[in-house]
Structure 1
Amino acid sequence: MNKAVFLDRDGVINEVLSNRVKFVNKPEQMYLLEGVGEGIKLLNDAGYQVFVVTNQGGVGLGYMKEEMLLKVHEKMKTDIEEYGGKIDDIIYCPHKPHAGCACRKPEPEMLHQLARKHQVSLKESFMVGDRDVDITAGKQAGTKTILIGDEEGLADFQFETLYEAAAWIIKNVT
């Protein structure tokens, strides 16, 4: 079985609600947070598969089309590759908030789908997010959880940045 790090997108990988961008609805609004490319490369080099698991209710609400979301994700992957990092797979929930679907975090279905597809041991894996919905999804799926940011939350561990979380995983877990 493989081990993985599941990453929320907005607020973990890229800026959101910042001075430059409110929401990421177009590729040119995709700005990686500092250290993200390097952190993902650390995880790749340590043998972790890296997945993006993201709620994208803007699609269901009509703020963006799925085709544009795919372009945003391509830009994100290209930007990360410039640092030598690699995203192994991306899964997203396009449904409106409160749609009651099984895939929207805090439900764990997206993590379960990726785990089945890539033969991942969830108990040897991490879910990294910046909100409790991410952490709840990780806990329900059976992963260890990491909260990014300085707000208190439900996570097993907490760090300011994805890079700090990745460095800790490499030093303390692998």
Structure 2
Amino acid sequence: MTAGQPVNGRRPAIFLDRDGVIVQNRHDYVKSWAEVELLPGALTALQTLRATPFAVVVVTNQSAVNRGLLPPATLDDIHQRLQAIIEKAGGQLDAIYVCPHRPNEGCDCRKPLPGMLLQAAAALELDLGRSFLVGDAITDLEAALAAGVQPLLVRTGRGRGHEALLDTQTHAICPVVDDLSAAVSWILARAA
């Protein structure tokens, strides 16, 4: 049995942050489809994941919604178009979980809290202990660790800057790789 195979009906997941991992991060938020810029290699990495038993789940903080900068319908449109492009390239997302809250709203879903991962695990019957999260920020890593998920930091998006902020303990348990393609290779090498 490999690490990606279901155990007791639960399969592992690869959780992905959206901005900085799949698409370019913007300091002023991605507010329309015209502002979406796929990162190099992201589609190929997602195509590779489709051939694995892992669920692929996006978990993304999108406070632009509650800041009044991004209507929920526009966010839905962005995600529908993104999924269509990913599927056309041979990839697939099993789900997208969004936290629309601002940092001061006190929700349990905004990363660094693990709420979105826990919601996905319950809804999709995921095995968090055999799952991974690929992110570009310390908050992604903290959410992964809080949920019992193996974190990986990519140097795309904000990742290069956040790598310099990792404490020794986090750096020891969190691999740092160049991009989503490298993260997928790292995960699959360990899941074999």
Where 1:23 maps in the other structure, the secondary structure is: coil
What does residue 106 of structure 2 align with? 100
**Structure 1 contact 8–54 (Cα < 8 Å) conserved:** yes
What does residue 127 of structure 2 align with? 121
What does residue 14 of structure 1 align with? 23
**Structure 1 contact 36–80 (Cα < 8 Å) conserved:** no
> Which of 155, 162, 166 is equivalent to 2:184?
166
2-structure distance, mates of 1:137, 1:16:
19
- Bigger Rg, which one: 2
TM alignment of 1:58-69, pairs within 5 A:
58-69=64-75
TM-score (norm 1): 0.93
TM alignment of 1:18-167, pairs within 5 A:
22-149=28-155, 150-151=160-161, 152=163, 153=166, 154=170, 156-167=174-185
2-structure distance, mates of 1:78, 1:29:
16
Cα offset for 1:32? Answer: 1.1
2-structure distance, mates of 1:92, 1:67:
13
Give structure 1 stretches of 5+ with no counterpart: none
Further displaced range: 27-36 or 147-156: 147-156
Q: Once superposed, what is the RMSD of the aligned Cα atoms? A: 1.4
What does residue 12 of structure 2 align with? 3
Stretches (4+) displaced over 3 A: none
Where 1:52 maps in the other structure, the secondary structure is: strand
2-structure distance, mates of 1:118, 1:12:
22
Cα offset for 1:75? Answer: 1.5
